[in-house]
Amino acid sequence: MAQVLVTGGTGFVGSWCVLTLLDAGHTVRTTVRDLRREPELRSWLRAAAPLDDDRLTVVRADLEHPEGWDDAVADCDFVLHVASPTLRRAPANDDELVIPAREGVLRVLRAARDARVRRVVLTSAFGAIGIGHPRRTAPFTEEDWTNVDGDIPPYQRSKTLAERAAWQFVTDEGGGMELAAIHPVGVLGPLLGPDDPPSLRLVRRMLEGRVPACPPFGMGFVDVRDVADLHMRAMTDPAADGERFLAVAGSSLRVVDIARILRDRLGERAAKAPTRELPVWLARALGAVNPELRLLRHQLGRDLDATSSKAERLLGWRARPIEDTIAETAESLLAHGIGARPGS
């Protein structure tokens, strides 16, 4: 068994990575920005599975500051760099996200290299692969990169430039340290705690009746538990060194299909889920006054397909049926009291 650092242990993907590693018998250290959240994280993990959290250490480190990272990576065999800077408001300019994301990745990689970590697994995103391209029918693969010279949202730009900086660092200054990158599409699945991850907000708003009609696009989705499993496979499998891996469960789903699955699987508890899809022309027009639709302008009227055949072929990874994940996402939100509020 190995000593593994997981950055961002209280995040949606990070907490599931911690749980998956502990369940597999590894010793885990995880970073948080505020140590007051340690009891909360431990309570989530204990509630989710009967495991020995004595093998878990929680330390303070912030991607935007140098303090704490040398101690965080000390004596670790592997690093899962899951954490990424986020903003709770629209950025004034792209650099508000790009610079912290890129510098945070480099900060972790430098500390990992100096501590002689064997391999870093970087959590990137589909947003670093499939944005800013002309229309296409073929699924996106790991050979694709988002076009950062195009008119693309700040988050996708930050993920792309941060990942490119990581690969360049390992080539130029890595000292033999290995790197793999994971590219999840839209991440759904059950919560470990009562947080409100951005990737689950679409399902939450559907349950609350706050999506009167679905935006007209489709994309891939994947279960957070399968994303954590892929991180662990990429951590140890020799075939993962130097590779990128998309994580997606099957073909893309239209947003209106997610609403249909919710109604089919949850019945009256999902009665407020929408039944209609907006016409593309109307969605574009509404984007002038709706910031969320404006951010989706590159996707409207499109189905962004991607394939996980590489992860399946090289690492033996398999994703669970996304219909089950959508239903379990909703069940988990309702169990935590999220999504049960009346529609406005």
How far apart, in whole angstroms, are the C-alpha atoms of residue 15 and residue 309? 26
How far apart, in whole angstroms, are the C-alpha atoms of residue 63 and residue 177? 20
How far apart, in whole angstroms, are the C-alpha atoms of residue 131 and residue 144? 10
- The answer to whether 159 touches 124, Cβ cutoff 8 Å, is yes
How far apart, in whole angstroms, are the C-alpha atoms of residue 100 and residue 35? 21
CA angle 164, 109, 95 (to 5 degrees): 50
Residue type, 249: A
Half-sphere exposure of 249 (CA within 13 A, CB side): 20
How far apart, in whole angstroms, are the C-alpha atoms of residue 154 and residue 97? 7
Parallel/antiparallel/unpaired status of strands 253-254 and 218-219: antiparallel
Is residue 272 annotated as a catalytic residue, yes or no? Answer: no
Q: Which residue among 159, 204, 231, 244 is the active-site one?
A: 159
Please tell me the chain's helix, strand, coil percentages from 3-state DSSP, rounded to the nearest 5.
Answer: 45, 15, 40
106 Cβ contact partners less than 8 Å away, ≥ 6 residues apart = 165, 166, 169
Query: In degrees rounded to 5, what are phi and psi of residue 48?
Result: -85, -30
Half-sphere exposure of 304 (CA within 13 A, CB side): 25
**Other CB atoms within 10 Å distance of the CB of residue 145:** 17
Residue type, 248: V
**Dihedral Cα 320, 321, 325, 327, nearest 10 deg:** -150
Which residues does the annotation mark as catalytic?
A: 159
